[in-house]
Amino acid sequence: MTEQPELDLETSTGGGDLDQVVDSVLGSGDPAVISSELFSVVDALDASPALRRALTDPGLPPRARRGVAERLLAGQLTDATITVVGSVAEKRWSAISTFVAELERLGVRARLIGAEREGRLDRVEDELFRFERVVDADSELRNVLADRTAPVERRTELVADLLRGKADPATIALAERAVRARERTFTRTMEHYLNQTAALRNRSIATVRVARPLDAEQEARLRAALTKQAGRAISLQVIVDPTVLGGVRVEVGDQVIEGSVASRLEAARRTIR
């Protein structure tokens, strides 16, 4: 009997089984190495249209695309990383950019899981958030990191200099990676990393804006109230914002909870127009 060609009908959106592939190879591989190697594959794909076409050719059956990845990367990367790239290449993607973005996402996931396994994920999450706020508040620094006319190596070295000796190695690696910001700004990329961190622990992120810092008891009460309302664990990211004028403004995804004096004044102003 003639073997039937392998059908390739499904278009992947990433996640799910690919997360499981990364999780499984991390059992025997170094998360930092796998993450760095996945990022290097992304950079190679960005630089080479021929490589992008080779790994995403819809005219090839899935196992053939995996074979192409394995042949091209053999001897250059660890077996664990090649397994991940082959699994991603095996999928059919709606766009090449989506394929590349998925490899980037999995590289971030690998680094975060490494931090989680060593009990450092809370620290990494907090440092990513704080550094994102520093950059967002400093227009000069933000513009320097966004300047694509400057060599990316110079910009990543600036980030490393700012964080070296002060932050976890995973934080530094991810902040350096965010400088490349393939389709987002630096701060938006960092926010994306934070969302991945929360998702890794099945949590939602609540961005809380207050006029004055919250003490530990206030944070605990707010976290408990938001967790009850959301029906899942909540990670708080507290931003001190004098324009809030008392009270609190909370954003959980697309939901906004207003409890500030400023918002109540604005609501009153609208009613008397």
Which of residues 166 and 248 earns the better pLDDT score? 166
The residues that bridge with 207 in the sheet, in sequence order, are 237, 251
Other CB atoms within 10 A of residue 178 CB = 27
Check residue 3 and report its DSSP letter: P
Evaluate whether 241 touches 214 at the Cβ level (below 8 Å): no
In percent, how much of the chain has pLDDT > 70?
88
Mean pLDDT throughout 115-129? 94
In percent, how much of the chain has pLDDT > 90?
62
The residue among 82, 117, 152 that closes a domain is 117
User: Per the domain annotation, does 2 fall within a domain?
Assistant: no
Are residues 90 and 150 located together in one domain of the fold?
A: no
Q: How far apart are CA 28 and CA 26, in angstroms?
A: 5
Are residues 140 and 68 located together in one domain of the fold?
A: no
User: Per the domain annotation, does 4 fall within a domain?
Assistant: no
Give the residue among 3, 115, 138, 7 at the shortest CA–CA distance from 60: 7
User: Per the domain annotation, does 3 fall within a domain?
Assistant: no
User: Per the domain annotation, does 173 fall within a domain?
Assistant: yes
The residue among 87, 117, 147 that closes a domain is 117
Are residues 261 and 224 located together in one domain of the fold?
A: yes
- Predicted pLDDT of residue 259: 65
- Predicted pLDDT of residue 269: 45
- Predicted pLDDT of residue 231: 74
Mean pLDDT throughout 27-37? 95
User: Per the domain annotation, does 6 fall within a domain?
Assistant: no
Are residues 159 and 191 located together in one domain of the fold?
A: yes
Mean pLDDT throughout 171-184? 91
The structural domain count of the chain equals 3
Which of residues 249 and 115 earns the better pLDDT score? 115
Give the residue among 227, 261, 228, 221 at the shortest CA–CA distance from 242: 261
Evaluate whether 99 touches 186 at the Cβ level (below 8 Å): no
Query: DSSP states of 76-138 as a string?
Result: TS-HHHHHHHHHHHHSEESSHHHHHHHHHHHHHHHHHHHHHHTT-HHHHHHHHHHHHHHHHH-
- Mean pLDDT across the chain, nearest whole number? 86
- Predicted pLDDT of residue 19: 92
Phi, psi of 68 (to 5 degrees): -60, -45
Joined together, the tokens standing for residue 94 give 């709606």
The residue among 98, 117, 136 that closes a domain is 117
User: Per the domain annotation, does 5 fall within a domain?
Assistant: no
Query: DSSP states of 127-194 as a string?
Result: HHHHHHHHHHH-HHHHHHHH-TTS-HHHHHHHHHHHHTTTS-HHHHHHHHHHTT-SSS-HHHHHHHHH
> In the predicted model, is pLDDT for residue 42 greater than 80?
yes
The SS3 call for residue 61 is coil
Are residues 140 and 183 located together in one domain of the fold?
A: yes
> In the predicted model, is pLDDT for residue 8 greater than 70?
no
Are residues 208 and 273 located together in one domain of the fold?
A: yes
Q: Which domain holds residue 230?
A: 202-273
Which of residues 1 and 135 earns the better pLDDT score? 135
Per-residue model confidence as pLDDT tens digits over 227-272: 888 777 787 878 888 777 667 788 877 677 776 544 544 543 454 4
Band of residue 4 on the pLDDT scale cut at 50, 70, 90: very low
Are residues 111 and 170 located together in one domain of the fold?
A: no
Which of residues 206 and 103 earns the better pLDDT score? 103
- Predicted pLDDT of residue 235: 78
Q: How far apart are CA 206 and CA 55, in angstroms?
A: 38
- Predicted pLDDT of residue 266: 52
The residues that bridge with 205 in the sheet, in sequence order, are 235
Q: Which amino acid is at 44?
A: A
User: Per the domain annotation, does 196 fall within a domain?
Assistant: yes
User: Per the domain annotation, does 72 fall within a domain?
Assistant: yes
Q: How far apart are CA 180 and CA 196, in angstroms?
A: 18
- Predicted pLDDT of residue 184: 83
Mean pLDDT throughout 211-237? 82
Q: Which amino acid is at 172?
A: I
Q: How far apart are CA 247 and CA 259, in angstroms?
A: 5
Model pTM score: 0.77
